[in-house]
Amino acid sequence: MIKLLIAAGTMASGATGAAAEVKSVSPTHFEVESKVTVPVAPAEAYRMLGRIGEWWSKDHTYSSDAANLSFDLRAGGCFCEKVPDGGTIEHLRVVYARPGQALRAQGGLGPLQAEAVTGTLSWTLKAVGAGTEITQNYIVAGHARMGLDKLARPVDGVMTAQLAGLEQRLRRK
């Protein structure tokens, strides 16, 4: 699965208009950040975060179907997935929810879930003109057998692609 993430991240990294950056990296941590501006109010952008099955790529799910995703936007809420055999997967757990302002959740996405790491994914929403600037930041630290320095760029590509999916969905409104 880690090889799949690396391949997907490499393909996705050049496929979006989002401004993306690997902010820091070492064998035991990385921080990646992407930004987009969308033509909707912060409250509307925030609500769409909770409709994750409408914008998260099916290619980055365990079930191969984004319709199986859910995201409960409240402290303790789950970014979860149902899988066909009746199982469930917790991708992230919400630790900070401020409608129209910010959402923060913790967990290891994809193959990071099988490593001894902690990840914090944050979305910050800022009104700009008639729209919203969305900043997505993912910080991961801990021990990954492959080394987190080797995963930073692929994860950046995958995360930037997810933010681009959110941007595209909000532009279709």
| pLDDT, mean of residues 73-77 | 98
Q: In which band, very low, low, confident or very high, does the pLDDT at 17 lie, cut at 50, 70 and 90?
A: low
Q: pLDDT (tens digit, 9 = 90+) per residue, 20-57?
A: 899 999 999 999 999 999 999 999 999 999 999 999 99
Range of the structural domain that residue 139 is part of:
2-171
pLDDT of residue 69: 98
The CATH code of the domain that includes 82 is 3.30.530.20
* Of residues 171, 139, 147, 170, the one with CA closest to residue 47: 170
Number of domains in the chain: 1
- Is the pLDDT at 68 greater than 70, yes or no? yes
pLDDT of residue 12: 40
